[in-house]
Structure 1
Amino acid sequence: MNGVTLRQLDYFLAVAKHGSVTAAATACHVSPGGISLALTELEAALGAQLLLRRRAKGATLTPAGRWVADRALPIVQDLGELMHAAKQMQGQLIGPLRIGCFTTLSPWMMPRIIEHFAANHPAVDIEMVEGSSDQLQERLLAGELDLCFMYSLHVSTPVDVQTIAPVRLQLLLSPDHPLAAQEEVELRDLAGEPAAVLALRPASDLVETILRNAGFEPNIKWRSTSVETIRSLVARGQAYSVLMGRPLGDRTYEGLPLAYRRIKDDLPENAVVAAYAAGTKPSLKNRTLIEYCRNEFSDRSPVQ
């Protein structure tokens, strides 16, 4: 057993996962000869045949190989965590960071986050997951995400949150709409008119509730998972919308102008938040990410 090394176990597990020496070599960025040598050394150290290797048929685990693989995997994972912890104690951030982001927030937040970490923490491997707030919270609670960014009014599960930036819904109109001449608009003035809403829950539920609270049943004519589709429908005078984000320029993809107006009604307070599983202590990577986002976005929220 004194001859067993982490490299040998890594290569053995790679062959077990990928089913051949060649595929394992590609995954590990080494030569097939290097993989074969490590396997031979490992089998000699353990005194057992771990793999059946057949030309053109790949490699399969022997019963002894399955036994070793089951025990080697947690050893390799634990050693990897130990190495990460040692580097973090030296002030380095390293390893995967799985970030979820509500679809409409992602263009505003994720490119800057990725650029910042690439420049300042290059050993952090960011995985980006976009989706509805409901989907992100499911994945967060399943342990598939480290944290996610969404709106505070979308939180519907037992998660802990930290505020990144305050936000407020705005009314989106065609510049030719009669109400576009006003700086502030009461929602009741839109009763009966066709609306286009974001087809992502719970965002759609929130907007519809706000419209009903204004005293009328909204006429939802269009639903889309794309904010840009909604913006284009509004610009062409086919509907109004109530949205959170406001890209620079107030124009659609095709260059048509839009009119954003403040909603005069009382609206529930809302904010962009970082959410993570309730009761968990944020890792150093999470804390670094949250601190950066607060500094970067607190004065530049998508809607002031």
Structure 2
Amino acid sequence: MNLRDLKYLVALADHRHFGRAAQASFVSQPTLSTQIKKLEEELGVALVERAPRRVMLTPVGRDVAERARGVIAEVDQMVEVARRSRDPEAGSVRLGLFPTLGPYLLPHVLPGVRERFPRLELLLVEEKTDQILQRLRDGRLDAGILALPVHDDQLRVEPLFDEPFVLAAPKSHPIAKHESLHGDDLRDADLLLLEEGHCLRDQALDVCRLAGAGERAGFRATSLETLRQMVAAGVGMTLLPMLAVQPPVPPSSDLALVPFSGDVPHRRIAMVWRRSSAMGDFLERLAAEFKRLPDELLAPPAPKSASKRSRRAD
């Protein structure tokens, strides 16, 4: 048994197709198939169910593949320990971000990261939270930027910042005239939300429960931009995270942003990585760069009256 064959098995478990697994492993399909067969002969068990149109791992095959992931991850950690000892701030870091944060955070932090770590190759992966956590556990990601809470004692959690929410409403809606919102201003309101699987949906539902609001039936968006466009079209209201309404995101003339006052609803953003990671010390320094996000990017829009006074003063 060798590490190469274990990697072939893991690739087959991921792709469920000999051709795609071979392509991902940079070998020919006959080579991968032959090595999997040799692994089965060495272990004395069938690892794969071969059917004309699909490939499935047997129960023992799934167990062996999961254990192989751990072996591969440990070997990768050994290599990383040696490499980081030579040049701690070089090499690559595989970083996962979820879709309602990544496109809005990265333009503000990547220039500083590149300046601070010029030899670093930052490989970015955009996935939903559950996928990022799974890839972290499997060793396919080195770190993730997620919204708390994260319930896993095997992960180190480094809080970065709190991101407030604002209400996005059509300009024609009466609530758009408010300078700010209090908790009961959304009572009995129905908000547009994302589909299942997005952490922003769960966060918005938490706000709805506290405010006495609900979800608008019959519509669930697949992306934050869809939500934004539906609000601008007058379909309804939604909650948007603060970074999603800051430049370089262009403002919409048909959409009003109303901040909350008092106990402002927000989500806490953190960087997480495995406690066993060989690059833990470096990831702490990388997290420090993400913490340098300018405070004004997390500040609510100025109240309308304040904006008017400012323009008159100018």
Q: TM-score range by the shorter chain?
A: 0.5 to 0.7
User: Residue 151 and residue 81 in structure 1: after superposition, are their counterparts in 2 closer, same or farther (change >3 A)?
Assistant: closer
3-state SS of paired residue (1:149): strand
Query: Partner letter of residue 248 of structure 1?
Result: Q
Aligned pairs (5 A) from 1:1-304: 18-19=26-27, 81=80, 84-88=83-87, 93-152=89-148, 154-158=149-153, 159-186=155-182, 188-199=184-195, 200-245=197-242, 246-248=244-246, 255-264=252-261, 266=263, 270-278=267-275, 283-295=280-292, 297=293, 299-302=295-298, 304=300
User: Residue 250 and residue 82 in structure 1: after superposition, are their counterparts in 2 closer, same or farther (change >3 A)?
Assistant: closer
Whether contact under 8 Å (2:168, 2:258) holds in the other structure is yes
What is the Cα-based RMSD across aligned positions, in Å? 3.6
User: What is the deviation of 1:156?
Assistant: 3.9
Query: Partner letter of residue 93 of structure 2?
Result: L
Listed one character per residue, the Cα deviations across residues 128-164 of structure 1 (whole Å, up to 9, x for unaligned) are 1112222222222222221111222x52443332121
2: CA distance, partners of 1:163 / 1:302: 15
1: CA distance, partners of 2:248 / 2:118: 35
TM-score of the two chains, using structure 1 as the length reference: 0.63
Whether contact under 8 Å (1:252, 1:258) holds in the other structure is no
Structure with the greater alpha carbon radius of gyration:
1
Number of the residue aligned with 1:48 = none
Listed one character per residue, the Cα deviations across residues 66-110 of structure 1 (whole Å, up to 9, x for unaligned) are xxxxxxx99x9799547623432xxx5222201111212112333
Query: Partner letter of residue 240 of structure 2?
Result: L
User: What is the deviation of 1:191?
Assistant: 4.6
2: CA distance, partners of 1:141 / 1:189: 42
TM-score of the two chains, using structure 2 as the length reference: 0.61
Query: Partner letter of residue 139 of structure 2?
Result: G
User: Residue 244 and residue 131 in structure 1: after superposition, are their counterparts in 2 closer, same or farther (change >3 A)?
Assistant: same
User: What is the deviation of 1:166?
Assistant: 2.0
3-state SS of paired residue (1:155): coil
1: CA distance, partners of 2:248 / 2:255: 5
Equivalent pairs counted in the alignment come to 234
Listed one character per residue, the Cα deviations across residues 100-132 of structure 1 (whole Å, up to 9, x for unaligned) are 112121123334544444444343222111122
1: CA distance, partners of 2:184 / 2:212: 6
Number of the residue aligned with 2:8 = none
Whether contact under 8 Å (2:165, 2:265) holds in the other structure is no
3-state SS of paired residue (1:218): strand
User: What is the deviation of 1:213?
Assistant: 2.6
Whether contact under 8 Å (2:95, 2:124) holds in the other structure is yes
Whether contact under 8 Å (1:172, 1:243) holds in the other structure is yes
Query: Partner letter of residue 271 of structure 2?
Result: A
User: Residue 203 and residue 180 in structure 1: after superposition, are their counterparts in 2 closer, same or farther (change >3 A)?
Assistant: same
Query: Partner letter of residue 259 of structure 1?
Result: A
